[in-house]
């Protein structure tokens, strides 16, 4: 199966893809679970989904999707993006060592490799790439977004984000936007988007979303980055298979966050299927 990259001159913002039916069905599904409903109400849980089944009619929905939370290792995708941008612009030499560190950073979430990449590109570069008008992966006017302002290890200076003083942050909307822009070939270039997807493919860690996807979608390609620290649990995945094509993202502040994320996959798939069926019915 080919990498899911669509070449296009311009793309919609992720917020412009919000679908009313998908949004309503998502809320109803989450509200069925008392724990999830309570976490959402307390701003301890955020979700984002993008249905890519029909690439000419991409649909987005989210709950607390502009709520920026501590996201542990998930924002390492921002370091990947900044590193690729630096390579593209001749600011960082493209070597086997750097390619190895980028893969270790994403697939195995290796902190030492990530810290080496952060030190190579610097906080100023990471922030500039995240704030770039083309990508807008961090924007105060929409609640913040992706941010990396601290090494994944001891020592060193910090560059915490300005809204909540977080070191490693994300909103589900901007993580969805990251994956969506990858699919559309909009992160740096079509070729660099493909390279980043290749690095993110076949994650070495099989927990959270991947634990469930291994069982229900063994033939699907999974492009993924997750994170956990204490009670903070996050996961994000682009799933590209014969019967499913979507992006799912979850941020949870709860001791049982890993299990919650595992348990979200089937309900989120059900939400997207219901929305597609409803759309078909209204067209008849």
How confident is the model over 217-272, as pLDDT tens digits? 999 999 999 999 999 999 999 999 999 999 999 999 999 999 999 999 999 999 99
With cut-offs at 50, 70 and 90, classify the pLDDT of residue 7.
low
Average pLDDT, the chain: 95
Separation in Å, CA 259 to CA 193, 210, 264: 31, 12, 9
Length of the chain: 284
Exposed / middle / buried, residue 14 (Cβ in 10 Å: 0-12, 13-18, 19+): buried
Write down the CATH number for the domain with range 14-283.
3.40.710.10
With cut-offs at 50, 70 and 90, classify the pLDDT of residue 1.
very low
Q: What pLDDT is stored for residue 205 in this prediction? A: 84
Whether 40 and 265 have beta carbons less than 8 Å apart is answered as no
How do the residues of the chain divide into helix, strand and coil, expressed in percent and rounded to 5? Answer: 45, 20, 35
Quote the CA–CA distance of 165 and 187 in Å, as a whole number.
26
Query: So where are the chain's domains?
Result: 14-283
Query: 217-243 burial string, b = 16+ CB within 10 Å, else e?
Result: beebbbbbbbbbeeebbbbbbbbbbee
The two tokens of residue 259 are 């299990």
Return all residues near 9 (Cβ < 8 A) that are at least 6 apart. Answer: none
How confident is the model over 61-91, as pLDDT tens digits? 999 999 999 999 999 999 999 999 999 999 9
Q: Is residue 2 over pLDDT 70?
A: no
The strand pairing partners of 226, in sequence order, are 235
With cut-offs at 50, 70 and 90, classify the pLDDT of residue 154.
confident
Percent of the chain past pLDDT 90, that is, above it, reads 91
Among 57-66, 85-94, 149-158, 176-185, the minimum mean pLDDT is found in 149-158
Separation in Å, CA 279 to CA 54, 70, 158, 193, 258: 12, 36, 48, 31, 33
Percent of the chain past pLDDT 70, that is, above it, reads 96
Q: What is the largest CA-CA distance in the chain?
A: 62
What average pLDDT does range 165-177 have in this prediction? Answer: 98
How confident is the model over 23-34, as pLDDT tens digits? 999 999 999 999
Helix intervals (H) in 201-239 = 208-216
Q: What pLDDT is stored for residue 5 in this prediction? A: 63
Q: What pLDDT is stored for residue 280 in this prediction? A: 86
With cut-offs at 50, 70 and 90, classify the pLDDT of residue 8.
low
What global pTM score does this model have? Answer: 0.96
Quote the CA–CA distance of 189 and 112 in Å, as a whole number.
28
């Amino acid at each position: 199966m080919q990498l899911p990259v669509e070449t296009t001159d311009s793309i919609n913002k992720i917020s412009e893809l919000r679908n009313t039916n998908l949004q309503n069905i998502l809320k109803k599904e989450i509200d069925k679970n008392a724990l999830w409903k309570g976490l959402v109400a307390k701003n301890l849980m955020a979700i984002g989904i993008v249905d890519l089944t029909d690439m000419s009619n991409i649909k987005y929905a989210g709950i607390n999707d502009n709520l920026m939370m501590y996201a542990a290792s998930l924002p390492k995708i921002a370091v990947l993006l900044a590193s690729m941008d630096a390579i593209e612009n001749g600011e960082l030499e493209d070597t086997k060592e750097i390619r190895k560190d980028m893969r270790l950073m994403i697939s195995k979430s290796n902190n030492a490799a990530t810290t080496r990449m952060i030190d190579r590109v610097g906080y100023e570069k990471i922030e500039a790439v995240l704030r770039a008008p083309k990508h807008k992966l961090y924007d105060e006017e929409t609640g913040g977004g992706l941010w990396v302002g601290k090494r994944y290890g001891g020592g060193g200076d910090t560059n915490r984000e300005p809204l909540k003083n977080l070191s490693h942050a994300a909103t589900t909307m901007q993580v969805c936007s990251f994956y969506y822009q990858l699919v559309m070939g909009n992160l740096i270039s079509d070729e660099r988007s493909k390279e980043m997807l290749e690095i993110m493919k076949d994650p070495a860690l099989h927990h959270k979303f991947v634990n469930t996807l291994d069982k229900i979608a063994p033939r699907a390609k999974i492009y993924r980055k997750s994170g956990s620290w204490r009670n903070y649990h996050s996961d994000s995945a682009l799933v590209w298979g014969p019967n499913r094509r979507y992006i799912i993202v979850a941020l949870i502040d709860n001791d049982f966050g890993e299990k919650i994320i595992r348990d979200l996959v089937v309900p989120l798939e059900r939400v997207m299927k219901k929305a597609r069926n409803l759309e078909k019915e209204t067209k008849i």
